[in-house]
Amino acid sequence: MEFKEGLTFDDVLLVPKYSDITSRTQTNLTTQLSRNISLNIPFVSANMDTVTESSMAVAIARAGGIGIIHRFLTIEEQADEVLKVKRSGSVIIENPYSITGDKTIEDALDYAENQDISGLLVVDDNSKLIGIVTERDLLFANSKNLIQDVMTKDVITAKAGVSIDDAKELLHKHRIEKLPLIDDSGLVKGLITSKDITNNADYPNASKDSKGRPLVGAAVGVKGDFLERSESLLEAGADTLVVDIAHGHSENAISTVKHIKKAFPDCELIAGNIATAQGAEDLMKAGVDAVKVGVGSGSICITRVITGSGVPQLTAVMDCAKIGRDYGIPIISDGGTRTSGDATKALAAGASTVMVGSMLGGTDESPGTVLTKNGKRFKVYRGMASLAASIGRKSKETGSTSFDDDLNDYVAEGVEAMVPYKGTVVDILKQLTGGVRSGLSYCGAHTIPQMQTNAEFIKMSRAGFAESQPHDVSLM
């Protein structure tokens, strides 16, 4: 048997090349997520239940990337997470949340809290606008009172189709934060808020859809309700779906891709994970718009230990990228990224984007609560094939968790862990993008495609790796 050599990020370095770049701001990180979706930075937050829900997806979209909402939620919950992302950056909210005037203040408070909003439009039974209720109206009010008794009735409105400049003028003139849009019959057709206009100006690099809303993706499985889930997610506004399976080079994955593409031919579909050129080609032939590469390389993944299977990440990316170039399909490197240098190597090897998990776990925007251990703060981070995640997934699918289940029936390929609390993800993304920009300049490249053309890798020994780290000093 002939043994092929496999390399990962720590086995190689990029050879520095002549550069005419005088500032890393001269570099351009625009790249393709999939066949028809482009991003302003090459980072994707992982579809893991300790990494990406709406808060993370909003933050990374504002930075220019995209988040993939994990699938370990009910269909309604996952679709709602997608809606939250879309509403967070819409200059014009097309279907604003509303409530009828005969509901109680308690109902309004619960609804607003569940939807994470600060105000509600008040409508009659025919969906005609009759008022607006905000935090100011609800403050200190009796929770049993009716909304119609405390709402603001004289609402400043505009006609549907108003320009943003005219809307800004109205918001400023009347010192209001919300401007409902109505038609000639008084029916609600949309909402413009001062916050959304400000966000639009504050995040010029944000990745947006054709309506100016943040880009967001969502994951689906390969069994059961995947078609129903796909339909709900697309209706909610998901820009891409990710077929999420540990072993993507399988009949289950290929069949799911074909079924989704047949039902929703215009859907941007990503599938994985795979680690070989043949796996990439088979998914591309099935109709995917991007392929996710990486088996066993994640920080909490133990697939290689449990199954003995996998390919070192750099080799996997390079092999799959060759096929991707032939088919015109982008590659996503998923796993093994611990530093901006690893991300730069993955991009230089042919990946168009890099999916990150552990680096984003532990941030304010990742799901979960902060834990304290020995005076230090942490957040839980777990693999989606871990024991806890597998049991949680079954409870979502069946609606209950049975303690009669034999835990030996679960063969975990991931672990549960804690990662240090890191603060806001914005700072992490700045460090990642800054490192990649510097990496481009060392390769003498202004863009990611140019770096892929210029890139020259050199293998290094363990001594070379040790030399790359801080050494012969006492770190502060």
218 is in an annotated binding site: no
11 is in an annotated binding site: no
382 is in an annotated binding site: yes
358 is in an annotated binding site: yes
* Residue type present at position 22: T
Strands (E), 302-361: 331-334, 353-356
- Per the CB < 8 A criterion, the answer to whether 31 and 475 are in contact is no
244 is in an annotated binding site: yes
d(CA 293, CA 311): 10
246 is in an annotated binding site: yes
- Per the CB < 8 A criterion, the answer to whether 382 and 51 are in contact is no
298 is in an annotated binding site: yes
d(CA 444, CA 83): 41
d(CA 191, CA 171): 12
Relative to beta strand 43-45, strand 66-69 is parallel
Specify whether 301 is catalytic. yes
- The residue behind tokens 């984003």 is 360
d(CA 123, CA 207): 33
Q: Of 340, 348, 206, 216, nearest to 270 (Cα)? A: 216
d(CA 429, CA 253): 31
194 is in an annotated binding site: no
468 is in an annotated binding site: yes
Q: Number of helices (H) and strands (E), helices first, in the chain?
A: 17, 21
d(CA 47, CA 73): 12
Helices (H), 89-237: 105-115, 135-138, 147-150, 164-173, 194-202, 226-236
299 is in an annotated binding site: yes
141 is in an annotated binding site: no
308 is in an annotated binding site: no
245 is in an annotated binding site: yes
295 is in an annotated binding site: yes
Strand partners, 129: 123
Q: What's the full length of the chain, in residues?
A: 476
236 is in an annotated binding site: no
Phi-psi region of 140 (alpha: psi -120 to 50; beta: other; left: phi over 0): left
Write down the catalytic residue from 267, 301, 320, 443.
301
386 is in an annotated binding site: no
Residues classed as catalytic = 301
Annotated binding site for K(+): 296, 298, 301, 467-468
Annotated binding site for IMP: 299, 334-336, 357-358, 381-385, 413
Annotated binding site: 244-246, 294-296, 298-299, 301, 334-336, 357-358, 381-385, 413, 467-468
Annotated binding site for NAD(+): 244-246, 294-296
